[in-house]
Each structure stands twice: as structure tokens, then as C-alpha cells.
Amino acid sequence: MGATKRSVAQSCSARRCGYPCSCGRCKCESYSVAGTQRVACAMSAPPQLRALLLAVNALLRKRRYHAALATLKGFRNGAVYGAKIRAPHSLVMTFLFRSGSLREKLWTILRATYIHSKNLACFVFTYKGLCALQSHMQGKTYPMHSFLAAFIGGLLVFSDNNNINSQVNMYMLSRVIFALCRLSVEKGYIPKPRWHPFPLFTAVVWGLVLWLFEYHSWTLQPSLRSSMTYLYEDSNVWHDISDFLIYNKSHASK
């Protein structure tokens, strides 16, 4: 039986890819390694490219470089995620509420996507890098490392008061308040409610936001103010059936 296993391994390793088959079949595609290695074998890549991929994958598997490589992948993931969530949002908001030529609208979308993607990538890179640096210097990881790294990263990346950073920070603030309330209940700092507080929370939020919009609208973020203007002020004005049902505003009023 042992001879059979060895012969299978030798047969597999004699193939062009040079990898022993982990499942006992002579198919290099079945070897569960990085996808680039399988692709290089399947496409009969040049020897130089296969050697480069082998060297790169060997480097990626070394634990001594894990922290630095995780920081680089964090930069990549931040850029991709920022583009994924900003591009469709900017596309919809720009074509719904912005005026201007098609070229101007496309430029607005691309610029917003680039800024969000760049900022998120830089923040993740900074955060993971500072966390790794603190752990290396102190020999272990402490909870305060996360706060300090994110504090510095936020100060460096998201401190510019523009529309995108404002949206991101307010999005984070709402989640942080929710999380701190739950943590306070779990730790016993706040008594656990005897009834579900969400209905009261909802009523207070909507009551405050409409009060602010009606009497102090300048305090609201521009995008929120624009949305609420469309909903609550534009619905007070019409001239005929065209701008009552079909359009929000007649061409004359525009």
C-alpha cells in the first residue's frame, strides 16, 4: 500500500506543475493551493512565470511576514470595498438630485468613488500597520492598541470636513452609539429595559429630524436636507397634472 502511495505521488510530481496531488489523482488542478498556481499549470505558463508565482506564493505563506502582508491586503480590501459601496450610491444620488451635463455627472461619480476608496484603503493600511507596530514593540496585543491605531488613522485620513467623510463619520457614529448602549447593558452600567426600546427610539429620531428640518434645516447635512426637501417641501407645490403626478417640478419652474 505504501508503495502504491509513493508511486502515485511520484507520478503526480512528475507532471509539469511539479506538485504532488493531495487527493491521490494525477490532476494538478486538484491540488488545493493558491489559485494562481493552478491557473499557471492549466494554461501552460512559461517556466519563468511559474517560478515567479512559486516564489511569490512561498513568500505569502511565511508567518514572519504575516503582519506586513495583512496590512497590504487591508489596503487592497479597503480600496475595493470603498469603490463597491460608493460607486452605486453616488450613481443614484447624482442622477436623481444633481443637475449638469452627463460628463459633469460622471466626473462627480468618479471623483466621489476615488475619494472614498482611497480614504478607506489608507485608513485600513494605517490602522493595521499601527496595530502591528504596537504589538511588536510591546510583545503582545492590548485592547488599547485598537483605539490608538484607529484614533490616529481617523485623524490622518477622515479629518477633512468634506461630504464623503461627513457621511462616513455619521454612519459610524450611529453604529457606535448603538454598540455602546448594548455594551453598557451587557456590563450592567445601564439596567436592561423591561420592554423593547426600539419603538421609542424610532419615534424620538423621526420627531427630532423633522423638527430640525422644519425650523433649523441649516443644521442638517446637505444630502439629508436635499432628500427631505424633495419629500416635504416640493410636495407642497404644483401647477397642473404634469408636476403633480408625472414630474416633481414643471419645466417652467425649473
Q: Residue 99 class from Cβ within 10 Å (0-12 exposed, 13-18 middle, 19+ buried)?
A: exposed
pLDDT on residue 251:
65
Give the separation between CA 62 and CA 41, rounded to whole angstroms.
23
Amino acid at 65: Y
Whether pTM > 0.85 for this model: the answer is no
Q: Which of 3-17, 27-41, 66-80, 137-151 has the lowest mean pLDDT?
A: 3-17
pLDDT on residue 223:
81
Are 131 and 145 in contact by the 8 Å Cβ rule? The answer is yes
Are 90 and 109 in contact by the 8 Å Cβ rule? The answer is yes
What is the residue-averaged pLDDT of the chain? 84
Residue 35: pLDDT band with limits 50, 70, 90: low
Q: Which of 59-73, 91-105, 133-147, 211-225 has the lowest mean pLDDT?
A: 91-105
Q: Residue 116 corresponds to which cell in the numbers above?
A: 472614498
Amino acid at 79: A
Report percent pLDDT > 70 for the chain.
81
Helix, strand, or coil here: 46?
coil
pLDDT on residue 189:
93
Residue 96: pLDDT band with limits 50, 70, 90: confident
Residue 23, pLDDT > 80, answer no
Residue 253: pLDDT band with limits 50, 70, 90: low
Please compute Rg for the chain using Cα positions: 28
Q: Which residue has the higher pLDDT, 202 or 48?
A: 202
Query: What is the pLDDT averaged over residues 247-253?
Result: 73
Query: What is the pLDDT averaged over residues 10-34?
Result: 43
Residue 246, pLDDT > 90, answer no
Residues 6+ apart with CB under 8 A from 70: 128, 132
pLDDT on residue 254:
55
Q: Which of 79, 53, 56 is nearest to 69 (CA)?
A: 56
pLDDT on residue 221:
86
